[in-house]
Amino acid sequence: MGIATRYASDIAKNTASAVICTKNDGIEPLISLVQIGRRVHHRLESWIVSKIAKTFQISLLILWNYLIRDEIIAQPIHMVILLVLLDLCLLLIGMDRVSPVLAPAPWRILDMAKIGSVLGVLGLVEALVLIYFGVRVLGVSPEEFTLQTFSFEVMFFFGLFTIFSVREKGRWWASSPRYFLVLLAAAETFGVLVACSVGVPYLPALHVRATGTIIAWSLGCVLFVNDAVKTWMYQSMQARYEAEAKLRQVTASVGP
């Protein structure tokens, strides 16, 4: 990446990838430039992993219930509402608190897709178990359309907790999210709980016991089980990156 200072010629500024315009011509602007780049990389990576995981889980969950169980668990209006609610929180990842990593961050889409796919499949299995429990134990009825409300809450809370999980490459409690992300998530949660408790068009009222079960199960699965798997995968990939970097150094030192 080419870098030019404010005293550089116009040609140098036009061809450079970044132009340092501060009065301080030392190394501090370069450090800030690298840190900003790594923060942006981290936010993009979190967005990609969360988007893939959410798409995998929701799409396969609806498809599985339709093809295998012959049940429609979501209407188009439910998908629109989920898209708006979850994507609003996901967009705020771009302004979230991020600590820049010390090592260079490689841009490897395939590894991000692997993590997102694994999280999506785990979420799918966990959601299927929860829906089965809701129908068999909690008395959720497909005929009364409470199964659609139950499934809507399952997809919403799994998606919401996944956003808070993937914002960190380590465990989710490594850093606290910014207040506006927490406030938006709390406001959306409150709205969903009220709507599903009293009942609104396309979302029949659901028993409080069923809602509590959904929150407890999705929180435990996403923020503890899935989050541990995500952390292990990131650590394994980072170890592989470091091994590859050392191998390149050894190869370069030996020469052709």
What pLDDT is stored for residue 246 in this prediction? 83
pTM of the model: 0.87
Answer yes or no: is pLDDT of 237 > 70. Answer: yes
- The tens digit of pLDDT for each residue in 46-58 reads 899 999 999 989 9
Mean pLDDT of 75-101: 86
Answer yes or no: is pLDDT of 92 > 90. Answer: no
What domains appear along the chain, each with residue ranges and CATH number? 44-254 (1.20.1110.10)
- The tens digit of pLDDT for each residue in 128-180 reads 999 999 999 988 887 778 999 999 999 999 999 999 999 998 899 988 898 99
The H or E element containing residue 4 is: strand 3-5
Answer yes or no: is pLDDT of 256 > 60. Answer: no
Across all residues in the chain, what is the average pLDDT? 86
Long-range contacts, stretch 192-196, CB < 8 angstroms, 24+ apart: 192/85, 192/153, 192/156, 196/149, 196/152, 196/153
Mean pLDDT of 79-100: 86
d(CA 84, CA 87): 5
- Amino acid at the residue 175: S
- Mapped onto helix, strand or coil, the DSSP state of residue 45 is helix
Please give the angle made by the CA atoms of 119, 120 and 121, to the nearest 5 degrees.
Answer: 95
Tokens of 66: 């339709």
Query: Could you tell me which residues are beta bridge partners of residue 18?
Result: 3
Helix axis angle, 109-136 to 227-254, nearest 10°? 160
- The tens digit of pLDDT for each residue in 14-45 reads 776 676 676 666 667 777 777 777 788 888 88
